[in-house]
Amino acid sequence: MAIFPLIKILSGLFFLIVGLGFILRPGLIERVSRLIKETILNESRLALNREKLGFFFVLAGILLFYMGITRIK
């Protein structure tokens, strides 16, 4: 089925963009977290783990994107 590689590619791109946002634009992420105001995304946790979360999302994005691309071929 071709739908699963598409889901992997789209989720991979999403995680890649979110990860780069955590790393390169922390002010934008803090503004978004202020709007969401959930217990998971409180500002103190975000400030402490910004780089860890960013690298996690970048790696997850690259992995899912690669898995989707190799599945299509």
Q: Report the alpha-carbon distance of residue 21 to residue 50 in Å, rounded.
A: 10
| Token pair belonging to 43 | 């500002």
Q: Which residues of the chain have pLDDT under 70?
A: 1-3, 37-46, 73
The predicted structure's pLDDT at residue 38: 61
The pLDDT value given to residue 24: 87
Measured between its terminal Cα atoms, the distance across the chain in Å is 13
Give the model's pLDDT for residue 49.
77
3-state secondary structure of 69: helix
Q: Specify the pLDDT at position 45.
A: 67
Domain boundaries, the chain: 3-72
Q: Give the pTM.
A: 0.52
State pLDDT tens for residues 8-19: 888 888 888 888
